[in-house]
Amino acid sequence: MIRRLETLYPDSFTQVHRCILSYAGKTHLLNGYLSVNRPGIYRLVAQGEMGGTLFDIEQSRDSAPRLLKNPFNLSAGFIAGEVAGILSRIYLQTPPETALAARTGAGNPALLVQSSPWKQELYIFDGKSERLLSYTEFRREKKTWHIDYGYNEGGDMPVRMEIARKAPRYQLTIKVISNRKQ
């Protein structure tokens, strides 16, 4: 299953996203333009529904995310923490070889990672296609992140991600409009 995660995305690709963010009782529509070069480089430009850059963030291999543009003075901590966290969990994360293979109650294959004494990660796969179905992160036995993945029929790369975050509390739906290998 670790190999399946390593090949979930090509090493280099671009995507266009349509996103719905529900946060603090409000719903926001966003467009995202993403470029990824694995194993650790990305750039995301986020725009509002009427256009105009909300923020531009990049991460280079082995460095912290860097905010390139933030014309509306959005919370830099939120962008560097939450947006970068979403990107790394969806596109860059690979569990270590020490991950434990398991099965869910429904019989689906799973990987369990004990990242630290207080942090666990659970990857659940489809038993037939081996597609990644969900990722859940627990801290001190409380669910902090949950991501459900959706696919087009016959497709191997996720085209829809539903993200739920407990603190700060928000919901984010990402629909991939276009995928392009580079």
Stated pTM of the model = 0.89
Domain count of the chain?
1
Instruction: Give the pLDDT score at 134.
Output: 96
CA distance 32 to 14: 10
- Domain housing 147: 2-181
Q: What is the mean pLDDT of each run of 10 residues along the chain (182 residues)?
A: 82 95 88 92 92 92 89 88 88 86 93 91 93 94 93 90 87 94 86
Residue 38 has what pLDDT? 86
pLDDT of residue 88: 87
Residues contacting residue 116 through CB under 8 Å, at least 6 positions apart: none
Strands 12-23 and 160-165: unpaired
**CATH (domain of 164):** 2.50.20.10
pLDDT at 182 (0 to 100): 84
Q: How far is CA 138 from CA 99, 134, 135, 160, 180, in A?
A: 15, 13, 10, 22, 33
pLDDT on residue 177 = 96
Q: In terms of Cα–Cα distance, which of 73, 75, 7, 80 is closest to 39?
A: 7
